[in-house]
Amino acid sequence: MIRLIPIVLLVILGASCKSKTRFELIQSSASGIVFNNLMTNTDSINVLDVENIYNGGGIGVGDFNGDGLTDIYFTGNMVPNKMYLNTGNFIFKDVTGQAKVTGEGRWARGVSVIDINNDGKLDIYVSASLSQDAKKRENLLYVNKGNDNDGTPVFENLATEYGLADTAHSTMAAFFDYDNDGDLDMYLLNNEIVKHESPNTFRRQLNNREHPNTDKFFRNDWSDSLNHGVYKDVSAEAGVTIEGYGHGVNIVDINLDGWKDVYVTNDFLSPNLLYINQKNGTFKNEINSYFKHTAENAMGQDVIDINNDGLADIIELDMNPEDNYRKKMMMNPIGYQRYTNNDYYKYQYQYVRNVLQINQGPMVFQNDSIGHPV
């Protein structure tokens, strides 16, 4: 009988291996979601003239009409944005026109879903870019005015009233309470490709807000006359001054001091940034203290405790091809001169690789190479 136990266990294990948990693809014909961020090259808009036209749009999810179901909002570049209300059973209804959230012709990128005025209804912030007309680059703040008689949420663009109609070439925005005063402040990630400027040439990194692709920071100040917060650009005051071709931003209390910090992934040579909250209304970039190296052409990123040790880990993606041949073809030459330039210009060491940064916790000894101070 005892001899049969291993055989029985093997049979059970073999049977269990066949039943895999997986996702099921729901066709657009069934879901009703037919959004397509279709790109059409022209003489003036193409990848040769505008390097980052294929950076894409964004997706925001939330219960916009308060019915307990998660809805979806897509942003488009050459096509209008789309809002799909969830009607249940993975079936969605396009209510974009009725909800008044078409995007107003913007080349839209990231989208943030937040309750900007604490009224219990979800609002939408859309980052805009690319257009040479600053008016067409004004970011949008769609404030939820409540449902109409059909149960469809109706929005109004109040970006100017809230001080958020910024015209930088925005990638995305992150809303969070940086000064622990109970309201949402905002970090705006920017990415502007400047003509006749090579983003992969070593030079002195600009850190005094002199470059147009420098990110911005907005503090939320209460307005008695408007009865809601108004956002003020305090970038220089807050220490958000370093240039970078921003692709991703995440908010995390990385040193567990009760104050939110900001991690930014930048494209090309521009190093990633880790703005540590100084608890006095300012940030300080301490990337070199926390990381030995990062991804070079850093794209998207996420922050998660991947090993359940209570510390925030970071995954960042690079322009890293799947097969080895293309990986070698796209790899920048990494020689002695490159390391010398990194040191001379005080750039972070960067490699064309997807990078998983495992948080090692605070520095324990004085000679520890990385980690936040005890």
CATH number of the domain residue 157 falls in: 2.120.10
Confidence band for 363, pLDDT divided at 50, 70 and 90? low
Q: Residue 13: its pLDDT value, please?
A: 55
Question: Between 44 and 80, where is the model more confident?
Answer: 80
| pLDDT tens, position by position, 264-287 | 998 887 888 999 999 999 999 998
With respect to residue 298, please indicate whether it lies within any of the assigned structural domains: no
Rounded to an integer, what is the distance from CA 113 to the centroid of its chain?
Answer: 12
Q: Residue 245: its pLDDT value, please?
A: 83
CA distance 116 to 164: 11
| Full domain range(s) for residue 263 | 30-37+48-289
Confidence band for 372, pLDDT divided at 50, 70 and 90? low
Average pLDDT over residues 260-266: 94
Confidence band for 254, pLDDT divided at 50, 70 and 90? very high
With respect to residue 212, please indicate whether it lies within any of the assigned structural domains: yes
Confidence band for 6, pLDDT divided at 50, 70 and 90? low
Check: CB of residue 3 under 8 Å from CB of residue 9.
Answer: no
pLDDT at 8 over 70: no
Q: Residue 269: its pLDDT value, please?
A: 75
With respect to residue 241, please indicate whether it lies within any of the assigned structural domains: yes
CA distance 152 to 64: 9
With respect to residue 213, please indicate whether it lies within any of the assigned structural domains: yes
Proportion of the chain above pLDDT 70, given as a percent: 89
H helices of the chain, in order, are: 4-18, 28-31, 96-99, 159-162, 235-238, 287-290, 324-330, 336-344
CA distance 331 to 79: 34
| pLDDT tens, position by position, 138-186 | 999 999 999 999 999 999 999 999 999 999 999 999 999 999 999 999 9
pLDDT at 28 over 70: yes
Average pLDDT over residues 239-253: 90
Question: Between 54 and 11, where is the model more confident?
Answer: 54
Q: Fill in the amino acid letter for 340.
A: T
DSSP per-residue codes, 53-97: GGG---EEEE-SSSSSS-EEEE--SSS--EEEEEEETTEEEE-HH
On the CB side of 192, CA atoms within 13 Å amount to 23
With respect to residue 156, please indicate whether it lies within any of the assigned structural domains: yes
With respect to residue 18, please indicate whether it lies within any of the assigned structural domains: no
Q: Residue 374: its pLDDT value, please?
A: 46
CA distance 92 to 272: 38
Nearest Cα neighbor of 93 from 175, 45, 20, 32 is 32
Tell me the CA distances in angstroms from 79 to 35, 97, 266, one per residue in order.
9, 13, 26
pLDDT at 96 over 80: yes
pTM higher than the cut 0.85:
yes
Share the mean pLDDT of the chain: 87
Q: Fill in the amino acid letter for 268.
A: F
Ramachandran region of residue 65, left (φ > 0), alpha (ψ -120 to 50) or beta? alpha
Q: Residue 27: its pLDDT value, please?
A: 94
Q: Residue 5: its pLDDT value, please?
A: 58
Question: Between 332 and 324, where is the model more confident?
Answer: 324
CA distance 309 to 286: 23
With respect to residue 170, please indicate whether it lies within any of the assigned structural domains: yes
With respect to residue 24, please indicate whether it lies within any of the assigned structural domains: no
Quote the number of domains for the chain.
1
